């Protein structure tokens, strides 16, 4: 009996969430926001996994951006701040299918900021503008 009630409550909660997301055209509840996408992308760069960073790029640039170009972005940050100990990102703005987010790399008291452009692609945020390798934000 208790299991049936718990199962029923779970199904009801999922149904309500589905109505809010799909009928209400909610484009944020189940989709990582721009700052989360940029932060995940940058964490891959910091870890030296440029190949794993490429899926965060929009189709419009993913075929033309090399792993070496991504490595240069990270290297420019490391020249600026030293060994990176923390990464975070902040959404600067988001309107419709466009957004900008700033990545913040930290090393002790030093930090570097780079701004990224994003667009929605098949409902997910993807990076479509990379910063130049150097201070930009």
Res 121 pLDDT > 60: yes
The full set of domain ranges for the chain reads: 1-30, 31-129
What mean pLDDT do residues 35-47 have? 98
Please give the pLDDT value at position 11. 54
Sign of torsion, CA 109 85 54 118? negative
Reported as a single tens digit per residue, the pLDDT across 50-73 is 999 999 999 999 999 999 999 999
What is the value of pTM for the model shown? Answer: 0.78
Candidate CATH numbers 3.30.300.30, 3.30.70.890, 1.10.3720.10, 3.10.450.50; the one for domain 31-129: 3.10.450.50
Please name the residues in contact with 137: beta carbons below 8 A apart, sequence gap of 6 or more.
Answer: 102, 113, 114, 115, 131
Res 43 pLDDT > 80: yes
Res 86 pLDDT > 80: yes
Q: What is the dihedral of CA 21, 27, 32, 35, to 10 degrees?
A: -150
pLDDT band, residue 23 (cuts 50/70/90): very low
């Amino acid at each position: 009996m208790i299991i049936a009630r718990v199962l029923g409550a779970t199904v009801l909660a999922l149904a309500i969430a589905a109505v809010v997301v799909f009928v209400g055209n909610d484009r944020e509840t189940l989709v990582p926001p721009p700052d989360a996408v940029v932060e995940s992308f940058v964490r891959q760069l910091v870890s030296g996994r440029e190949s794993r960073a490429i899926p965060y790029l929009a189709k419009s640039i993913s075929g033309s951006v090399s792993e070496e170009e991504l490595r240069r972005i990270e290297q420019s940050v490391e020249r600026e701040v030293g060994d990176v100990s923390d990464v975070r990102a902040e959404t600067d703005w988001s309107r419709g299918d466009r957004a900008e987010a700033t990545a913040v790399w930290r090393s002790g008291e030093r930090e570097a900021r780079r701004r990224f452009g994003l667009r929605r692609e098949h409902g997910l945020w993807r990076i479509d503008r990379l910063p130049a390798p150097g201070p930009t934000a």
